[in-house]
Structure 1
């Protein structure tokens, strides 16, 4: 065959392949990169990995079912970054995500990271959907920043009312880890506790790296409170509870959503019992078919059960994709407005945002612990 024959043969083959491609896929494929920032190392690594696992499940499902926006089939890719629960590291992570031109960032988990990086992402016109609960996260007024969980105003008030009405507590002590999360939820708990007739007999301070609470607990024991509200994370709350028991302090230990997970029981052991109380936002996964299926798939894939925010993080990506569909665009400056006015029912609850881009409705349930797992308290529902 001469060179002309080879040329026409190749042309026919190329044309055939092109037609096959159009027949098979039908639309052009576009890569959409989604960022994730959270503590993948350090004491809170279990929470960061939980968020990452949920995101991988969401992305795999979206890619399997196919999503078309503006005539293009979307292929989602995850860019997962470790912020180590550290604000300075978080700033470097945020800049990497901006440079990578991600369309949205899920996270961070920690308020201390969320507050500074919110400006970086907002200035770059990138949507941020976070579970960080300090009120400042959304009070800064950044239009690209959304909260997909409750804030400390709701959580602190919930636990104070529970302590007063259900536990009949009259005197409590507060330990604050001085992170943005800890300070925020401690302030709100104290304000609501006083309004509910509870006397705060002590407010002690620690850090989110502490392991020894003997001195603090000895001072608190002398005040003889009905219990302690710990404003911080599970990595410290678990050892704190163990040390309470060693000192013969069998009162209540209350906390926020950051202690409301199975990791709390892993680090605290048998001391984490039915007198430890904490709130979780959203639906109990085991109460719906979709939730049970999610839990089963998660556990089978990763070998552990989902923790506090796996459900909301999973929902968040579908929420963002729904906004893309409504705006007919994958560009944040286009779909941000659709996200702000969206109404979406997910695994963990219903998502609608107020003018500050906080959830309009963020009801929480109070949990205690049994056999190493958080279980809802029926009387508090």
Structure 2
């Protein structure tokens, strides 16, 4: 009888212990938002892959925060590169009470979404949106871990004037917050460097026919064209430049055009060899953890790499690092720790200015050799 009682007591203890252990596991959700549909889906999938990889790595670390083992999960949303869908996705993540957000890709979606996250008290970190206006409201929930357009647009203008000695440029933008913003900075810097801006045209982020714009620009005989926009437009534009005989015109663009996919979208046009583009940070080969990380990425997501996934990976890891330092997954508790970050990531050592901008950002200029993106610096 005594043995049976002991066995029953032991069984009860085991059940109770199991219940306690189950209660000691806490799910922490990291939101990921990017365009997973439409012409920019290749960027969005790459961004999502970076977050997914981070979540997988975090789960292997058996992290305990606030006395509870953390199970990390990603909640992914598609904003289709559309501002309205972007704010809807942000609200959905707020309603789901995710613990933090990585996103968005486009400045046009990130800027309005940042107010939604601020209002619901959830921090978000973007490794892709570059318009300087993002951090101007001073939200304590907004962080950027990549160089902004002030660095990208100006850097390209300096290179055009100082290294290439170009005199006349035309500027095109896609009227998005990103495209118009980076084009404005390029134009302003180019003029300050003594270059003549012979034409300013605009298109949309859905257009594919640029013959009228390019014909008008061709008549002004520019040395170069700067395009503020993304690669689904840059590719066809380069192809059409070739069709118009604009084979000696340099083509500048920010990180939106600076992708692995650009040459493919240009259908092998010779004008791709005239591209000079800039993206934030150093090249993947020069990132502190870039080579090893890239090997793992390719094993997990073959031939899907575009540009921003190392940054979205670091963004997710940065959120987790702040939670660990705060010993809390509650956004209200750990958000103040983000501004104090000194996180050694794949892309760089991440520290912030008081407004949430990355300290000491760098940029990389690239060209395309035999259709392959090749860093200049």
TM range (shorter): over 0.9
Preserved CA contact (<8 Å) 1:269 1:372: no
Cα 1:97/1:110, change in 2 over 3 Å: same
| Cross-structure match for 1:107 | 103
Preserved CA contact (<8 Å) 1:285 1:347: no
Which of 139, 156, 159 is the matching residue for 1:159? 156
Preserved CA contact (<8 Å) 1:172 1:199: yes
In 2, distance between residues paired with 1:112 and 1:339? 24
| Cross-structure match for 2:363 | 364
Deviation (angstroms), 1:290: 3.1
| Cross-structure match for 2:252 | 254
Deviation (angstroms), 1:187: 0.8
| Cross-structure match for 1:264 | 262
Which of 66, 80, 84 is the matching residue for 1:88? 84
| Cross-structure match for 2:14 | 16
Which of 181, 184, 199 is the matching residue for 1:184? 181
Q: TM-score, normalised by structure 1?
A: 0.93
Aligned length, in residue pairs = 374
| Cross-structure match for 1:327 | 326
Q: Secondary structure at the match of 1:80?
A: strand
Q: Secondary structure at the match of 1:59?
A: helix
In 2, distance between residues paired with 1:300 and 1:345? 23
Q: Secondary structure at the match of 1:375?
A: strand
Deviation (angstroms), 1:20: 7.6
In 2, distance between residues paired with 1:93 and 1:289? 33
In 1, distance between residues paired with 2:23 and 2:195? 63
The residue correspondences of 1:120-159 to structure 2 (distance < 5 A) are 120-130=116-126, 131-159=128-156
Which of 29, 34, 39 is the matching residue for 1:38? 34
Deviation (angstroms), 1:16: 3.5
Q: Secondary structure at the match of 1:354?
A: coil
The residue correspondences of 1:282-361 to structure 2 (distance < 5 A) are 282-287=281-286, 290-361=289-360
Q: Secondary structure at the match of 2:112?
A: helix
| Cross-structure match for 1:237 | 234
Deviation (angstroms), 1:286: 2.6
Preserved CA contact (<8 Å) 2:288 2:345: no
In 2, distance between residues paired with 1:47 and 1:125? 27
In 2, distance between residues paired with 1:264 and 1:14? 63
Cα 1:195/1:289, change in 2 over 3 Å: closer
Deviations 1:31-78 (A, max 9, x none): 001111110000100000000011111100000112121221111110
Stretches of structure 2 lacking an aligned partner (at least 5 in a row): none
The answer to whether the aligner puts 1:57 opposite 2:53 as a matched pair is: yes
| Cross-structure match for 2:65 | 69
| Cross-structure match for 1:174 | 171
Deviations 1:319-370 (A, max 9, x none): 1111111111111111111111211221112211111111111110100112
Aligned-residue Cα RMSD (Å) equals 2.1
Stretches of structure 1 lacking an aligned partner (at least 5 in a row): none
In 1, distance between residues paired with 2:208 and 2:7? 74
